[in-house]
Amino acid sequence: LGMSQEKKAEASLASLRGMMQLQARVRRNGQVAQVAADDLVPGDVVLFEAGDLVPADGRLVEAATLEIEEAALTGESAPTLKDVAAIDKAEVALGDQHNMAFMNTTVTRGRGAMIVTATGMQTQMGAIAGMMQAVKEEKTPLQKQLDQLTIIMAILAGVAFLVMSGIGLLRGQPFSLLLITGVSMAVAAIPTGLPAVVTTVLAMGTTQLAKANAIVKRLTSVETLGSTSAICSDKTGTLTLNQMTVRELVVV
């Protein structure tokens, strides 16, 4: 059941990724063509304008009143003014690299062109994704509690087996009979139905979230999400839309 729910989530995410396939306008052999961002290579000349997502990292060669919103990288929600002037410093912070455009940032004003310098995991955004993948996955509170319960029950079953075996040997019972009885008791003590019950409950939570248009990639995340009382985010809108929204209309 758990594998089925996670496969459905993966399929939904894959479908969303397919719908959000990023396209880029490139200038090759003097002609402008539309290609998938995945097909870009270093050295390509990419053109973009207001409303476009930058498909790769690159050095700007054209900039006409160009402004790019780089909140995901720099933490600044205000768009950054870009130009093609060279920077004579060896090390410059991302927010100060005015002659560079970075993957997955948004062009908010003007138009420009850049020479691709990095794609995929070699980009600044790719480096961040790599750091996230390198983070060791921790167990959820529910998983930790189940592990503790399993250890406690195993210890109790072991102690009970030793006590029962000692009493049985003192009474002259054969060890083979005591061993069979001990194994039977250990099997009976293990809650074999508990994993199925937990998975079913988590799957029910996933179904409820799906009705609210939320896709859960990992089934075990449902329990952690249910225990969350507050979510903190910064001004860049990492967990929000970073857009002004009309809440009320007043006629004057």
Tokens of 201: 């409950």
Mean pLDDT on 166-178: 82
Q: What is the pLDDT of residues 115-148, one digit of tens each?
A: 999 998 888 888 877 776 766 777 777 778 888 8
Residue 147 catalytic? no
Q: Answer whether 0.85 is exceeded by the pTM.
A: no
- The residues, ordered by sequence, that sit 6+ positions from 142 with a Cβ below 8 Å of its Cβ are 198, 220, 223, 224
Whether CATH 2.70.150.10 fits 20-119: yes
pLDDT bucket at 6, cuts 50 / 70 / 90: low
Q: What is the pLDDT of residues 184-206, one digit of tens each?
A: 877 777 777 777 777 777 777 77
